[in-house]
Protein backbone atom coordinates (compact mmCIF):
# COMPACT_ATOMS: atom_id res chain seq x y z
CA UNK A 1 0.00 0.00 0.00
CA UNK A 2 2.84 2.39 0.84
CA UNK A 3 4.58 1.76 -2.46
CA UNK A 4 1.32 2.36 -4.33
CA UNK A 5 0.73 5.65 -2.48
CA UNK A 6 4.30 6.75 -3.05
CA UNK A 7 4.08 6.01 -6.77
CA UNK A 8 0.87 8.06 -7.05
CA UNK A 9 2.43 11.01 -5.23
CA UNK A 10 5.55 10.89 -7.39
CA UNK A 11 3.42 10.67 -10.54
CA UNK A 12 1.47 13.75 -9.49
CA UNK A 13 4.66 15.67 -8.76
CA UNK A 14 5.98 14.88 -12.22
CA UNK A 15 2.76 16.12 -13.83
CA UNK A 16 2.71 19.44 -11.95
CA UNK A 17 3.74 22.37 -14.16
CA UNK A 18 7.02 24.02 -13.30
CA UNK A 19 6.89 27.70 -14.18
CA UNK A 20 10.47 28.28 -13.10
CA UNK A 21 11.63 26.83 -16.43
CA UNK A 22 10.95 30.18 -18.02
CA UNK A 23 13.45 31.84 -15.73
CA UNK A 24 16.12 29.18 -15.53
CA UNK A 25 17.76 28.94 -18.91
CA UNK A 26 17.23 31.21 -21.86
CA UNK A 27 16.77 34.58 -20.16
CA UNK A 28 20.39 34.42 -18.98
CA UNK A 29 21.65 34.40 -22.59
CA UNK A 30 20.57 38.00 -23.29
CA UNK A 31 20.77 41.38 -21.57
CA UNK A 32 17.02 41.72 -22.12
CA UNK A 33 14.33 39.55 -23.62
CA UNK A 34 11.13 40.97 -25.07
CA UNK A 35 8.22 38.56 -24.78
CA UNK A 36 5.28 39.69 -26.88
CA UNK A 37 1.80 38.76 -28.03
CA UNK A 38 0.60 40.96 -30.89
CA UNK A 39 -2.25 40.80 -33.38
CA UNK A 40 -1.45 40.58 -37.10
CA UNK A 41 -0.91 44.19 -38.18
CA UNK A 42 0.85 45.12 -34.93
CA UNK A 43 3.00 41.98 -35.24
CA UNK A 44 4.04 42.89 -38.78
CA UNK A 45 4.91 46.47 -37.75
CA UNK A 46 6.87 45.23 -34.71
CA UNK A 47 8.84 42.71 -36.78
CA UNK A 48 9.59 45.39 -39.39
CA UNK A 49 11.07 47.45 -36.54
CA UNK A 50 13.16 44.44 -35.47
CA UNK A 51 14.55 44.15 -39.01
CA UNK A 52 15.29 47.87 -39.27
CA UNK A 53 16.96 48.02 -35.85
CA UNK A 54 18.87 44.73 -36.13
CA UNK A 55 22.31 46.34 -35.56
CA UNK A 56 21.50 47.96 -32.19
CA UNK A 57 19.49 44.88 -31.16
CA UNK A 58 22.50 42.67 -31.82
CA UNK A 59 24.88 45.08 -30.09
CA UNK A 60 22.62 45.31 -27.03
CA UNK A 61 22.18 41.49 -26.98
CA UNK A 62 18.38 41.53 -26.96
CA UNK A 63 16.32 38.43 -27.71
CA UNK A 64 12.65 38.10 -28.61
CA UNK A 65 9.92 35.55 -27.94
CA UNK A 66 6.77 35.76 -30.06
CA UNK A 67 4.00 33.92 -28.23
CA UNK A 68 1.61 33.89 -31.20
CA UNK A 69 3.90 33.02 -34.13
CA UNK A 70 6.71 30.58 -33.51
CA UNK A 71 9.53 29.41 -35.72
CA UNK A 72 11.00 32.86 -36.37
CA UNK A 73 14.72 33.32 -36.97
CA UNK A 74 17.24 35.09 -34.77
CA UNK A 75 17.02 37.28 -32.69
CA UNK A 76 13.89 35.28 -31.79
CA UNK A 77 14.24 32.34 -29.44
CA UNK A 78 12.48 29.14 -30.44
CA UNK A 79 10.58 27.60 -27.54
CA UNK A 80 8.09 24.78 -27.09
CA UNK A 81 4.34 25.27 -27.04
CA UNK A 82 4.22 24.31 -23.38
CA UNK A 83 6.80 26.91 -22.43
CA UNK A 84 5.00 29.49 -24.56
CA UNK A 85 1.82 28.84 -22.56
CA UNK A 86 3.75 29.07 -19.29
CA UNK A 87 5.18 32.44 -20.30
CA UNK A 88 1.74 33.65 -21.38
CA UNK A 89 0.37 32.77 -17.92
CA UNK A 90 3.42 33.95 -15.99
CA UNK A 91 3.41 37.42 -17.56
CA UNK A 92 -0.38 37.58 -18.15
CA UNK A 93 -0.14 38.13 -21.91
CA UNK A 94 -3.61 37.60 -23.36
CA UNK A 95 -3.76 36.46 -27.00
CA UNK A 96 -6.41 38.98 -27.98
CA UNK A 97 -4.51 42.07 -26.78
CA UNK A 98 -1.37 43.76 -28.09
CA UNK A 99 1.07 43.36 -25.21
CA UNK A 100 4.77 42.93 -24.56
CA UNK A 101 6.94 42.59 -21.48
CA UNK A 102 10.61 43.41 -21.08
CA UNK A 103 12.40 40.75 -19.02
CA UNK A 104 15.89 40.88 -17.50
CA UNK A 105 18.49 38.08 -17.23
CA UNK A 106 16.77 36.68 -14.14
CA UNK A 107 13.31 36.43 -15.68
CA UNK A 108 12.05 39.46 -13.76
CA UNK A 109 9.69 41.77 -15.61
CA UNK A 110 11.18 45.25 -16.07
CA UNK A 111 8.32 46.85 -17.97
CA UNK A 112 4.96 46.11 -19.62
CA UNK A 113 3.62 47.63 -22.82
CA UNK A 114 -0.01 47.45 -23.93
CA UNK A 115 -2.01 48.75 -26.85
CA UNK A 116 0.45 50.42 -29.20
CA UNK A 117 3.62 48.38 -28.68
CA UNK A 118 6.73 49.91 -30.24
CA UNK A 119 10.20 48.47 -30.18
CA UNK A 120 11.97 51.80 -29.62
CA UNK A 121 10.48 52.20 -26.13
CA UNK A 122 11.57 48.69 -25.17
CA UNK A 123 15.11 49.32 -26.44
CA UNK A 124 15.36 52.50 -24.38
CA UNK A 125 14.09 50.67 -21.29
CA UNK A 126 16.55 47.83 -21.81
CA UNK A 127 19.50 50.15 -21.19
DSSP one-letter string for 30-86: SSEEEEEE--HHHHHHHHHHHHHTHHHHHHHTEEEEESSS--PPTTBPP--HHHHHH
Please state whether beta strands 62-66 and 109-114 pair in parallel, antiparallel, or not at all (unpaired).
unpaired
61 or 3, which is more confident?
61
Please tell me the CATH code under which domain 2-126 is placed.
Answer: 3.40.30.10
Q: For residue 55, what pLDDT band results from cuts at 50, 70 and 90? A: very high
How many helices (H) and strands (E) the chain has is answered by 6, 4
12 or 34, which is more confident?
34
pLDDT tens for each residue of 101-119? 999 988 889 999 998 888 9
* Nearest residue to 126 via CA among 107, 102, 109: 102
Check: CB of residue 69 under 8 Å from CB of residue 16.
Answer: no
Q: For residue 19, what pLDDT band results from cuts at 50, 70 and 90? A: very low
Q: Is the pLDDT of residue 13 over 70?
A: no
Q: Is the pLDDT of residue 29 over 50?
A: yes
Radius of gyration of the chain (CA): 17
Amino acid sequence: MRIYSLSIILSLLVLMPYTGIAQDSFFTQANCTIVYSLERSADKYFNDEITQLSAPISRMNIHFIDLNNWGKASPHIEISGRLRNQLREQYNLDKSLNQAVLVDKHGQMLNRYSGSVTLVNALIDCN
